[in-house]
Chains A and B, each alone.
Chain A
Amino acid sequence: MYRYDAYDTQLVGERVTQFRDQVRRRLDGSLSEDEFRPLRLLNGLYLQLHAYMLRVAIPYGTLSSEQMRMLAHIARRYDKGYGHFTTRQNIQFNWTRLEDAPDILADLAKVEMHAIQTSGNTIRNTTADPFAGVAAEEIEDPRIYCEIIRQWSTLHPEFSFLPRKFKIAVTGAREDRAAVRVHDIGLAIRRDNSGEVGFEVMVGGGQGRTPMIAKTIREFLPKDQLLSYLEAILRVYNLAGRRDNKYKARIKILVHELGAETFHEQVEAEWAQLRDAGPNLQAVEIARIAAFFDPPRYEEVDSASYQAKLFQDRTFADWVRTNVAPHKQDGYAIVSISLKPEGEAPGDATAAQMEAVADFAERYSLQEIRVTHEQNLVLPHVRQPDLYALWQGLRDQELATANIGLISDIIACPGLDYCGLATTRSIPVAQRISRLFANLDRQHDIGELRLKISGCINACGHHHVGHIGILGVDRKGEEYYQITLGGRADENAAIGKIIGPAFSSANIVDAVETLVTVYLERRRDHERFVDTYERVGQTPFKEALYGSR
C-alpha cells in the first residue's frame, strides 16, 4: 500500500490545524454560516437531514486493517456506532458533531486518511477496480495510476474551482468492475500492438438527470503522458464547461454539446502545447509509486482441505460460488464480504463489523481490505485453505450473506432517510426487496441481477445502470418509484430505459417480483436477466406490468 511521504503528512496535518481554527471561529461567532459553509465542505463536512455528515476519502477503495480499525473507532466514539460505505468507495458518518470534526480529522490523519476533496467542484477521490492487483486477467495494477492522479489532483490550484465536481475511475482489467464508462473520465489500461502499456481514455460519462455513457476520445495513450493528457482535458473543460447552469455544468454536457470529435480535437490541440512541457511521468517516478503496490510474497498453498470442504458443506460452497473470485496467484482467492444482509441498509457496517473485518484482514488477507462501488468489502489475498474458517468467522458477524451480484446485492443511496437533497426513500425499498428474495436458493436460481435504487434524480444509487433500476419520484407528497430496465455498468455499459409509469411505494416490490417472473419464464439456458431482456426486449416485461394497454 501507498505510505504518506513528508509532503502528504505536512499537507494533511496543516489542514487539520486550519480546520480546527475555522471550527473554533465558527463556534465563537467570528465566522458566519455563509463564510464557514465552503470551508467545512472543503473538508467533507456536509449538513444533512439529521446532523453533520462527514465523508471520508478511501483512496481508490484500498484500506489497511489499521485504517479500518480507525474507521470503527470513529463510528463508535463520534457517531452512532456505524458508518455507510458509498458508491464511490468512500465512507460516510451520518451523525457527527461540528465540535468533534477537528478531532475526527486528526484521528484520520494518524492513519494517513482525510476528507479533503470529498465535496465541492474539485477532482474527487479516484476510484478503481476493487480487485486491482489481484484480478487474474489484469494488465497492470490501476492503483499505481490512481495514486499518481491523487497526488497530482490534490489541491491542484488550477482545478480547485471547476464548473462542477469531477470523478475519475481506472481499471486495469478487461472486465470492468469500476464502472469507468459512467465517470467524467474513465481510464482503462490497455496494451497496444507492440505490447506497450497505456490507457484507453473515455470522457463524458455520468449519471444524474442526464445520464451518458463516456466516449472514447483516445484509444491508446502512452502511460508516461497520462498527467499532461488529463491536464489538457481538464483545461478544455475548465474553460468551456458551463458555469451558468448547475444542471449543465458537468463535462458530459460539454462533450455532448460539442460532439466527441470536436471535444477530442480541442483536447489534442491543448495537449500539443502541453505534452512536452506538462507534468509527464518519468519511468523512475512510476516505478517509485508502483513499488508501493508490489504484489506481496505469496506462499505455496495446498488447497486439498478447501476442495474437501466444498463437497462437505453446501452452504459454504454456495457462498464460494457467489462471494469468492479467482485470484491471479494459484492457491489464493479474492473474497467479497456482502454488506447486504437480509433486510438491512445496503452499505452500512457497525463498528463491531468493521473491527471484525480488520481482524480477518490481519489473519487472512495480509492486512488489506478493499471497498467496492457496489457498497461491499473485499479481502483480496485469502489462502484457499483459510476460506472455510474465514467464512465461519464472517457468519458470526452477519457478514457471510452469499449474495454478491444477486438480486439482494442492491446498491441504494441514503435517500430521504438521511439525504438533504432526496425526494423519496431508497433504503426501505431495498430492505423490502431483500426480504422478499430472502431465500438464497431462489436468488441463486435467478442468478446475476444488478438492482440499483436512487432516492432522487441525482442518481447516486446508480439506477441508470442497474439491470433493474429504481428511481424514487415525489408525486404530490407521495413516494412513487420509476423502473428502468437494461442498464449496465460493465464493459458493455448502457443506460436503462424507462419501462412505463411509476409504481406507488406499496406496489414497487410486487413490480420487481413480476419482472423476475417474466425473466424466469423466458430465459434460455444460462441467460442472466439482462441477457434475456436484451434478447426479448421491453414488451413482455411491459405487458406483465401494465397489461396490454
Chain B
Amino acid sequence: MKTQAVTANLLVDGRVAFLTWEGDWSEKVEDSHVVTSNEEAEWLLDSAQRAVSAQVVIDPYLIEVSDSNGSAWPLSRREQIRAAGPTGTIDTAPDGLTAGLKQVA
C-alpha cells in the first residue's frame, strides 16, 4: 500500500503547495494530509480538483511520501527538491530538509 499526499502549484504565484488535513494548501510538505489507501487517495485528488475549479491551484497530483513521526517527506528526488527548494544555489533551502540531498551533491 502506498503512502501518498497531494501536491500542486498555487495559481497566483506558482509556489509548490501540499493539500493539508484541514483541506487548504501549505507550502510545507510536513503539513500534508497523508493517506494510505487508493480510495482515500482518489478522495484527496477530488478535493484538490475543487481547488483547481476555485482558481487556487493548478495541476495537482499524488506523490509518494514516507510518514515517520506524522511528518511527510517525499520519496522521489524531484519531489524532495520541489518540497525543499534548489539544493546548491543562491537560494539554499533550510538545512535539515536538504541535508540528504546536499550529501549526495
Chain B contact residues, majority secondary structure: loop
Q: Mark B25-59, 1 if CB is under 8 A from A, else 0.
A: 00000000000000000000000000010110011
Chain B: residues with Cβ within 8 Å of the partner, total of: 26
A477 in the interface (beta carbon within 8 A): yes
Q: Which residues of B contact A432 (CB under 8 A)?
A: 105
- If A49-B81, A49-B82, A505-B104 touch, whether A345 touches B89 (CB-CB below 8 Å) is yes
A33 in the interface (beta carbon within 8 A): yes
Docked pose: A489 CA to B28 CA in angstroms: 43
Contact of A417 among B15, B58, B59, B81 (CB under 8 A): B81
Docked pose: A388 CA to B9 CA in angstroms: 48
Q: Within the complex, what minimum Cβ distance (angstroms) separates A402 from chain B?
A: 22
Q: Mark A421-442, 1 if CB is under 8 A from B, else 0.
A: 0100101110110000000000
- Give B contacts to A, CB under 8 Å: 9, 11-16, 52, 54-55, 58-59, 76-78, 81-82, 85-91, 104-105
Task: Give the 3 A-B residue pairs with the shortest CB-CB distance, closest first.
Answer: A428-B105, A97-B13, A417-B86
Contact of B77 among A29, A51, A80, A479 (CB under 8 A): A479
- If A428-B105, A477-B77, A505-B105 touch, whether A98 touches B12 (CB-CB below 8 Å) is yes
Q: Which residues of A contact B90 (CB under 8 A)?
A: 80-82, 344-345, 348, 350
- If A345-B88, A348-B90, A428-B88 touch, whether A97 touches B82 (CB-CB below 8 Å) is no
Q: Does A97 lie within 8 Å of B14, measured CB to CB?
A: yes
Q: Within the complex, what minimum Cβ distance (angstroms) separates B67 from chain A?
A: 19
Docked pose: A345 CA to B92 CA in angstroms: 11
- The residue of chain A having its C-beta at the shortest distance from the C-beta of B58 within the complex is A33
Q: Which residues of B contact A417 (CB under 8 A)?
A: 81, 86-89
Q: Does A29 lie within 8 Å of B104, measured CB to CB?
A: no
**Would you mind naming 13 contact pairs between A and B with Cβ atoms under 8 Å apart?**
A29-B55, A47-B58, A49-B82, A51-B13, A52-B14, A95-B91, A97-B12, A345-B90, A417-B86, A417-B88, A417-B89, A422-B78, A425-B105
Q: Which among A50, A51, A99, A418 has the highest number of chain B CB atoms within 10 Å?
A: A50
A536 in the interface (beta carbon within 8 A): no
- If A428-B105, A477-B77 touch, whether A51 touches B88 (CB-CB below 8 Å) is no
Docked pose: A463 CA to B86 CA in angstroms: 22
Q: Does B15 lie within 8 Å of A50, measured CB to CB?
A: yes
A28 in the interface (beta carbon within 8 A): yes
Docked pose: A52 CA to B82 CA in angstroms: 13
- If A348-B90, A417-B88 touch, whether A98 touches B14 (CB-CB below 8 Å) is yes
Docked pose: A119 CA to B82 CA in angstroms: 23
Q: Within the complex, what minimum Cβ distance (angstroms) separates B104 from chain A?
A: 6
- The residue of chain A having its C-beta at the shortest distance from the C-beta of B102 within the complex is A428
Q: Which residues of B contact A47 (CB under 8 A)?
A: 9, 14, 58-59
Given contacts A47-B9, A97-B13, A98-B12, 5 further A-B contacts (CB under 8 A): A27-B11, A51-B14, A345-B90, A479-B104, A506-B104
A379 in the interface (beta carbon within 8 A): no
A416 in the interface (beta carbon within 8 A): yes
Q: Does A431 lie within 8 Å of B14, measured CB to CB?
A: no
Docked pose: A98 CA to B56 CA in angstroms: 12
- If A47-B14, A505-B105 touch, whether A427 touches B88 (CB-CB below 8 Å) is yes
Interface size class of A (residues with CB under 8 A): 35 or more
- Give A contacts to B, CB under 8 Å: 26-29, 33, 47-52, 80-82, 95-99, 344-345, 348, 350, 416-418, 422, 425, 427-429, 431-432, 477, 479, 505-506
Contact of B12 among A27, A344, A416, A422 (CB under 8 A): A27
Docked pose: A81 CA to B90 CA in angstroms: 9
Docked pose: A505 CA to B102 CA in angstroms: 12
Docked pose: A350 CA to B91 CA in angstroms: 11
Q: Does A50 lie within 8 Å of B78, measured CB to CB?
A: no
Q: Does A27 lie within 8 Å of B105, measured CB to CB?
A: no
Q: Which residues of B contact A28 (CB under 8 A)?
A: 55
Q: Does B12 lie within 8 Å of A99, measured CB to CB?
A: yes
Q: Within the complex, what minimum Cβ distance (angstroms) separates A45 from chain B?
A: 9
Q: Which residues of B contact A506 (CB under 8 A)?
A: 104
Q: Which among B9, B89, B91 has the highest number of chain A CB atoms within 10 Å?
A: B89
- The residue of chain B having its C-beta at the shortest distance from the C-beta of A504 within the complex is B104
Q: Does A80 lie within 8 Å of B12, measured CB to CB?
A: no
Docked pose: A13 CA to B14 CA in angstroms: 25
Docked pose: A213 CA to B77 CA in angstroms: 34
- If A50-B82, A99-B12, A425-B105 touch, whether A27 touches B55 (CB-CB below 8 Å) is yes
Docked pose: A98 CA to B15 CA in angstroms: 10
Q: Within the complex, what minimum Cβ distance (angstroms) separates A128 from chain B?
A: 28
Q: Does A50 lie within 8 Å of B58, measured CB to CB?
A: no
Q: Which residues of A contact B91 (CB under 8 A)?
A: 80, 82, 95
Contact of B76 among A97, A98, A477 (CB under 8 A): A477
